[in-house]
Amino acid sequence: MILARNLLATLRGREIDATAKTIAAETGLAYRTVADGERVTGTYRRNVQLASGRYAILDDGMGFSLVPWKPVIEQRLGQQVSATVRGGGVSWEIGRQRGPSVG
């Protein structure tokens, strides 16, 4: 058996895109992808469990992003958080401060 290069990343991307379309239809918000190294800020609305892992939905008022979830943010439901995605990992900043990140 020969697998296509980056097959897991491709499948993960398809799953996230399909989930984002469903959430966009439910909420009326536009989906905003998060590039590697990009910082995204929004209100943590809820999380979704996908085959590729759990993701947090961050709502910035105009759209939403799906960011890899970590238990540290669960108690921040409904609050403003920021995340920086790097290489499949994520570091979280809680609240509006620009202090140290929680990874």
Q: Is the pLDDT of residue 4 over 80?
A: no
- Token pair for 23: 């959430």
pTM of the prediction? 0.84
The arithmetic mean of pLDDT across residues 58-70, rounded, is 95
**79 alpha-carbon distance from chain centroid:** 15
What does the pLDDT read at residue 55?
Answer: 95
Among 63, 62, 102, 64, smallest CA distance to 83 is for 102
What does the pLDDT read at residue 87?
Answer: 80
CB-facing half-sphere around the CA of 14: CA atoms within 13 A: 6
Q: How confident is the model at residue 7 (pLDDT cuts 50, 70, 90)?
A: confident
Q: Which of 13-17, 69-73, 81-85, 86-90 has the lowest mean pLDDT?
A: 86-90
Q: Which of 32-41, 72-81, 82-91 has the lowest mean pLDDT?
A: 82-91
The arithmetic mean of pLDDT across residues 39-61, rounded, is 95
